Chains A and B, each alone.
Chain A
Amino acid sequence: MNWWARRNLRTKIFLAFSSLVLAVLLATLGLTQLVVSREAQSTLNRELLTTGQVFEDLMRERAVRLKSNSVLLASDFGLKRVIATYDADTLASAALSYQERIGVELFWITDESGVLLTVSPGKPGVARSIADFPPIEAALRTHEAASAIAEVNGSLFQVVAVPVFGPDVIGFLLLGHVIDDALATRLKEETGSDISFVTDTRVFASSLPPAARSRAVSSGERRARLLRESTRSSSLLDVGNERFLSLAVPIDAHVAQPLYALVQGSYDRALAPLYALQLRIAGIGAAALAIALLVGIGLAGGIIRPVRTLVAGMHEVLKGNLRYRSKIERQDELGFLAHSFNEMVGGLEEREHIKDTFGRFVSRDVAAAVLDGRVPLQGERREVSILFQDIRGFTALSEQLDPATLLRVLNQFFTEVVAAVEAEGGVVKQFTGDGVMALFGAPEARADHSERAVRAALSIVSRLVTLNVQFGEQGVPPLAIGVGIHVGEVIAGLIGPDERVEYGVVGEPVNLASRIESLTKETRAIILVSKDIAGRLGPEFTLGRTNELPVRGRSQPVEVVEVLCG
Chain B
Amino acid sequence: MGLKSTLLACAALLAPATLAVAAPAITGRVIGADGKGIADAVVFVQSPTDSRKMPDGLVPMATMDQIEKTFVPGLLPIVVGTSVRFPNHDQIHHHVYSFSRTKTFELPLYKGTDASPVLFDKVGVVKVGCNIHDWMSGIILVLPTPYFAQTDAEGRFTLADLPHGQYSLVAWHELSKSKPEETAQSMDVGKGATPEANFTLALGPARARPAIRGSRKEP
Interface residues in chain A, defined as those with a beta carbon under 8 Å from any beta carbon in chain B? 75, 77, 80-81, 83-84, 142-144, 165-170
Contacts and interface: CB of A to CB of B under 8 A. Distances in A.
Interface of B: 95, 97-99, 104, 127-131, 134, 136-137, 207-210
A167 B98 CA distance: 8
15 contacts: A75-B134, A83-B99, A84-B99, A143-B208, A165-B129, A165-B134, A166-B97, A166-B98, A166-B129, A167-B127, A167-B129, A167-B134, A167-B136, A167-B209, A168-B137
Contact of B131 (A77, A143, A144, A170): A77
Given A83-B99, A84-B99, A167 B208 contact: no
Nearest to A111: B101
Nearest to A80: B99
Given A75-B134, A80-B99, A83-B99, A168 B127 contact: yes
A335 B208 CA distance: 105
Given A80-B99, A84-B99, A167 B128 contact: yes
Nearest to B139: A168
B99 A170 contact: yes
Contacts of A142: 208
B99 A166 contact: yes
Contact of B207 (A77, A80, A166, A168): A168
Given A167-B210, A168-B207, 6 more contacts: A81-B99, A84-B104, A144-B208, A167-B129, A167-B130, A169-B207
A78 B136 CA distance: 18
B127 A166 contact: yes
A246 to B, nearest CB: 43
Contacts of B131: 77
| Interface hub of A80, A81, A83, A166 (most chain B Cβ within 10 A) | A166
Q: What does DSSP make chain A's interface, helix, strand, loop or mixed? A: mixed
Contacts of B130: 167
A143 B98 CA distance: 19
Contacts of A169: 207
Nearest to B174: A168
B204 to A, nearest CB: 11
A431 B61 CA distance: 180
A143 B127 contact: no
A165 B134 CA distance: 8
Contacts of B95: 77
A142 to B, nearest CB: 7
A236 to B, nearest CB: 50
B210 A165 contact: yes
Contacts of B99: 80-81, 83-84, 166, 170
Nearest to A164: B99
Given A80-B99, A170-B99, A143 B207 contact: yes
Nearest to B127: A168
A486 B97 CA distance: 169
A168 B174 CA distance: 11
Nearest to B98: A166
B139 to A, nearest CB: 9
Contacts of A170: 99
A515 B150 CA distance: 180
A166 B210 CA distance: 11
Contacts of A143: 207-208
Contacts of B208: 142-144
Nearest to B125: A168
Nearest to B131: A77
Contacts of B137: 167-168
Nearest to B95: A77
Nearest to B128: A167
A170 B102 CA distance: 13
Q: 8 nearest interchain CB pairs?
A: A167-B129, A84-B99, A167-B137, A166-B99, A168-B127, A77-B131, A143-B208, A170-B99
| Interface hub of A142, A165, A169, A170 (most chain B Cβ within 10 A) | A165
Nearest to A144: B208
B132 to A, nearest CB: 9
Nearest to A86: B101
Nearest to A142: B208
Contacts of A80: 99
Contacts of A75: 134
Contacts of B209: 165, 167
Nearest to A75: B134
Nearest to B132: A77
Contacts of B134: 75, 165, 167
Contacts of B129: 165-168
Contacts of A165: 129, 134, 209-210
Nearest to B129: A167
Contacts of A144: 208
A119 to B, nearest CB: 21
A80 B100 CA distance: 11
A483 B81 CA distance: 187
Nearest to B138: A167
A80 B104 CA distance: 12
